[in-house]
Amino acid sequence: MREYTIAAVLAVGAVVGLEVGLLRTGLLRSRAYWIAMAICYGFMIAVNGWLTKLSAPIVLYDERRTTGWRAPWDIPVEDYLFGFALLTLTMLLWDAAGARRATGSEPAVASTVSRQPKGSS
C-alpha cells in the first residue's frame, strides 16, 4: 500500500479544504503566496535533492509506501505534496490569526502588557 502517498494527498486536500471551506483568507489567490512558495521550493529542491539522491542517499524511503516517482535529483513527489501542505498551512494560520487580531476578535499580545513609562514603578 502507498501510505506515504495517501497521507501526502490527504494533507494537501485538508489544507486546501480548510482554506476554501473555513478560513477564506484568499492566500491561494495571492501572487505573494506563489512567489513565497517558489522561493521555498527552490531551497527545498537543493536540500532535499542532496538528502535523497539515489547515488548516496541520507534519507531513505520504502518504495512500497510511495509511488516511486522522483524528480528532480531523485526527490520523491510526495515530498512536494507534504511541503505544499506544511508551508501553506503555516501561512494560512498566520493570515487567519492576523485577520482576527485586526478585527478585534482576539486581543493583541501587546495590549496585555503593562504600559508604564520608563523609569516609573
Would you place residue 34 in the very low, low, confident or very high pLDDT band (cuts 50, 70, 90)? very high
Check residue 114 and give its pLDDT: 45
Kindly report the average pLDDT of the chain as a whole number.
87
The Cα–Cα gap between 73 and 78 comes to 14
Check residue 116 and give its pLDDT: 54
Say how many residues make up the chain.
121
Enumerate long-range contacts of 31-34, CB under 8 Å, 24 or more apart. Answer: 33/88, 33/91
Q: How far is CA 72 from the centre of its chain?
A: 20
| Mean pLDDT on 94-100 | 86
Tell me whether residue 59 is in a domain: yes
| Cβ pair 19, 28 in contact under 8 A | yes
At residue 1, does pLDDT exceed 90?
Answer: no
Check residue 69 and give its pLDDT: 93
Contacts of residue 16, Cβ cutoff 8 Å, sequence gap at least 6: 28, 88
Tell me whether residue 119 is in a domain: no
Tell me whether residue 103 is in a domain: no
Range of the domain at 45: 3-12+26-95
Question: In which residue are the cell numbers 542532496 written?
Answer: 50
Would you place residue 45 in the very low, low, confident or very high pLDDT band (cuts 50, 70, 90)? very high
Type and span of the H or E element at 15: helix 3-18
Tell me whether residue 52 is in a domain: yes
Tell me whether residue 67 is in a domain: yes
The Cα–Cα gap between 54 and 76 comes to 11
pTM: 0.77
Tell me whether residue 110 is in a domain: no
At residue 68, does pLDDT exceed 50?
Answer: yes
Tell me whether residue 111 is in a domain: no
- Nearest Cα to 81, choosing from 19, 2, 13, 3? 13
Check residue 111 and give its pLDDT: 42
Tell me whether residue 121 is in a domain: no
Number of domains in the chain: 1
